[in-house]
Structure 1
Amino acid sequence: MSSISAIALSGLNAASLRLQVSASNVANAQSTGAQPNADGTVPAGAPQAYAPLEVVQSASAGGGVQASVTTVTPSTTSVFDPQASFANQDGLVASPNVDLAGEFVGQLLASYSYAANATVLKTNDRMTRSLLDIMA
């Protein structure tokens, strides 16, 4: 595999991971859980709120990118929901710290990034075929 293909493939993988993480965040944005205690633990038997994720990309030494998944900090925000069985004495529950508008923009960027890297792969393939045709 050429270095151009390897670089584009790393971009495809990163874009795919970004879309996967964003879809998970959007799907779990409305899930709530008990407010964590001062030490960060959730009371026994109470549900824990979804911890949103984010993708961190860094440049690879030989070209391309490496992508890793981390937890968003802070992972939850307090929301007033006194009807929840696990609400604290103030009626607060933990809600995932998900910015739906930001997730939508991130999904669009992942889509465009994926398409751009796929185009690079196609162009590299055409160039290689043309070169082989000339040599034949």
Structure 2
Amino acid sequence: MSSISSIALSGINVAQQRLQAAANNIANAATPGYQRQRVESVAGPGGVSGVITREAESRPGLYVEDAVEVLAATRAFEANLLVLRAEDRMLGSLFDAFA
């Protein structure tokens, strides 16, 4: 797998983690003692990874923050898919040139 693919796939994985954390926050917002989750992106060789952290103090009712997180994660997911699609087209053109 090329480095472009691995970087895009790592971005997709982090976007998925962000979606899951936001959904978990929304689903458990009314649960007593629940600590909200947040996914921090950490850059590394070959892409990014997500580190799940829990907020120290409970801050209930942050549905807007979670909704924005869902939208941002969705856009990140789409952007990384476009990178994979562009790479696929470029490789196809490269192979066509040598055929």
TM-score over 0.5 (shorter chain):
yes
Question: Deviation digits for residues 54-74 of structure 1, max 9, x if unmatched?
Answer: 1011111x2421111111121
Residue 98 of structure 1 deviates from its aligned partner by: 5.1
Q: How does 1:1-136 map to 2 (within 5 A)?
A: 1-32=1-32, 49-60=33-44, 62-74=45-57, 76=58, 97=60, 99-136=62-99
**Per chain length, whose mean CA-contact separation is higher, i.e. which structure has more relative contact order (CA < 8 Å, sep 6+)?**
2
Q: Does the 8 Å CA contact 1:53/1:70 hold for their aligned counterparts?
A: yes
Q: Does the 8 Å CA contact 1:7/1:65 hold for their aligned counterparts?
A: yes
Question: Deviation digits for residues 1-53 of structure 1, max 9, x if unmatched?
Answer: 01000000010000000000100000010122xxxxxxxxxxxxxxxx22211
Equivalent residue for 1:41? none
Q: Secondary structure at the match of 1:30?
A: coil
CA-atom RMSD in angstroms: 1.2
Show structure 1 runs of 5+ residues with no match: 33-48, 78-96
Paired with 1:24 and 1:51, the residues of 2 have a C-alpha distance of 10
Query: Which of the pair has more CA radius of gyration?
Result: 1
Percent identity between matched residues is 41
Paired with 2:81 and 2:63, the residues of 1 have a C-alpha distance of 27
Superposition TM-score, scaled by structure 2 size: 0.93
Superposition TM-score, scaled by structure 1 size: 0.69
Mark the CA change 1:125 to 1:73 in structure 2 (over 3 Å): closer, same or farther.
same
Aligned pairs, number: 99
Show structure 2 runs of 5+ residues with no match: none
The runs of at least 4 aligned residues of structure 1 exceeding 4 Å deviation read none
> Aligned partner of 1:26: which letter?
I
